[in-house]
Amino acid sequence: GHITYMRTDTPAISDEAAAALRERILERFGADHTATAEDIAQRASARKKPANAQEAHEAIRPSGFDFFEELGGLDEDAARLYKLIWERTVASGMKDALMERSAATIEVEAAELPQEMGGGAAQLRFRCNGQRTVFA
């Protein structure tokens, strides 16, 4: 199989799998994008466990960490599912995204509105928020 045991609800992966994951991320994306082993373990333990959790097995993850495009022999649906599992697993081994946020507010006091907007004086306000991912 291409993935580990699929009947589990734990987010934790084994220490060996975490080390292999970190190695592949380091190789492909570099140290700036690789989470520490402690970060990976902390993310898995940070969530609240449901009362009926079945955590006997590690998280569903690729059985190996070859990059998705290197894997062949799957039909379209299986490939899409594997890609989802692969992407989520790799993301769990990467550093958190850095986001840059900005906001702008423009106010115009007592602007004269055009007739088609009812005419007269009004205070106009325009506000926008945005964020973007900052790449290292």
Q: Any catalytic annotation for residue 82?
A: no
Residue 34 has which token pair?
């690789």
Question: By the 8 A CB rule, do 3 and 63 touch?
Answer: yes
Q: Choosing from 5, 23, 30, 54, which is the catalytic residue?
A: 5
Residues recognised as catalytic = 5
